[in-house]
């Protein structure tokens, strides 16, 4: 996506004053962002609302309407701008070594990095407002809330990962993480705005196309990386994941890493996997009759 707002996002993140791993550190929290956009009239958004929760999930126009009540927002006049903030090589290296508990760097990104992501959302909204464009960050709206999806369990009114998927930035993996061109180890954000931008092409047709399993490869890397047993051939058990983070990793972070701050940090399934820092490569086609093997150990944590 090449637009002035895309360039503004990249420039804002390149400023060390905006992108520090922790207060007072010179080290960046994130690598350079990827940015994409989609039309509010893209049928995928209505499909997502109906699939996730027609009674609570927002389309882009509905989210923007909440921020600007009394002003009609036509879906075709609304654009979603989404971004991916990739973890740095240093954070990946530190986290790959962890087996059961998160690294300091990952926990710093989960805490301070998410504050950067929030500031970026505000920056985008304010930049567009300065150009006379109505814009809002759905997850920062006071109406944003968690909900229970009949189909998927824990959910919310607006999913940053699904917005990024619609904006051509990635497809879902077995662990529910979004596999992007910069990998699955990243954070996402989005803003909806009353403007028309050319949509970013979606270089996939399936929601899980970049996960190796969608290509028939019996990859088990994220299953093996999860210390809570929350990932299986059947997918991601959100409740087991939530309980592990709430009962084990968040108290650990508050006790040992960032005193007094119980950060919801884990993400072990996002590192040490073939999809960690890029779209995983499909194996060469094997001769007919030869069985497709499991990618045992590929991309596993070092040490
Ligand atoms: S580790 Fe393998 S199975 Fe898990 S999301 Fe990545 S590619 Fe898919
Ligand atoms: S975030 Fe942690 S607990 Fe949850 S699925 Fe990933 S590795 Fe397992």
Residue 285: per-residue pLDDT: 67
Q: What angle do CA 218, 222, 224 make, to 5 degrees?
A: 90
- Percentage of the chain with pLDDT > 70? 93
Protein residue closest via CA to atom 8 of ligand 1: 211
CA distance 300 to 222: 9
Ligand in nearest proximity to the CA of 154: 2
CA distance 265 to 269: 12
Residue 111 confidence (pLDDT) above 80 = yes
Protein residue closest via CA to atom 4 of ligand 1: 222
* Averaged pLDDT score across all residues of the chain: 93
Q: What is the pLDDT of residues 44-65, one digit of tens each?
A: 999 999 999 999 999 999 999 9
What sections of 76-171 are H helices per DSSP? Answer: 89-96, 104-108, 114-130, 160-166
Q: How confident is the model at residue 283 (pLDDT cuts 50, 70, 90)?
A: confident
Q: Which residues line ligand 2 (CB under 6 A)?
A: 175, 225-226, 228, 230-231, 236, 241, 244, 266-269
Count of CB atoms situated within 10 Å of the CB of 263: 22
Residue 301: per-residue pLDDT: 27
Q: How confident is the model at residue 289 (pLDDT cuts 50, 70, 90)?
A: very low
Residue 202: per-residue pLDDT: 98
């Amino acid at each position: 996506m090449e637009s002035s707002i895309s360039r503004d996002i990249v420039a804002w993140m390149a400023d060390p004053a905006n992108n520090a791993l922790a207060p007072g550190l010179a080290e960046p929290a994130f690598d350079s962002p990827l940015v994409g956009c989609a039309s509010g009239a893209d049928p995928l958004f209505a499909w997502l609302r109906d699939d996730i929760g027609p009674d609570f999930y927002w389309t882009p126009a509905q989210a923007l309407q909440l921020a600007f009540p009394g002003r009609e927002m036509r879906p075709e006049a609304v654009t979603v701008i989404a971004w991916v903030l990739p973890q740095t090589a240093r954070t990946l290296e530190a986290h790959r070594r962890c087996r059961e508990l998160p690294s300091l760097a990952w926990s710093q990104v989960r805490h301070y990095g998410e504050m950067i992501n929030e500031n970026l959302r505000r920056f985008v909204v304010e930049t567009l407002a300065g150009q006379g464009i109505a814009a809002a960050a759905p997850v920062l709206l006071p109406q944003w809330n968690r909900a229970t999806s009949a189909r998927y369990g824990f959910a919310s009114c607006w999913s940053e990962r699904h917005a990024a998927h619609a904006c051509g930035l990635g497809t879902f993996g077995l662990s529910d993480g979004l596999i992007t061109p910069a990998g699955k180890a990243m954070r996402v954000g989005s803003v909806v705005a009353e403007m028309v931008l050319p949509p970013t092409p979606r270089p996939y047709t399936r929601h899980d196309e970049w996960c190796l399993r969608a290509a028939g490869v019996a990859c088990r890397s994220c299953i093996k990386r999860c210390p809570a047993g929350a990932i299986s051939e059947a997918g991601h058990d959100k409740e087991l994941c939530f309980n592990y983070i709430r009962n084990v990793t968040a108290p650990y972070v508050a006790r040992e890493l960032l005193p007094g701050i119980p950060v919801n940090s884990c993400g072990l399934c996002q590192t040490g996997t073939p999809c960690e820092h890029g779209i995983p490569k499909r194996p060469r086609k094997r001769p007919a009759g030869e069985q497709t093997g499991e990618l045992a150990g590929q991309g596993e944590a070092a040490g």
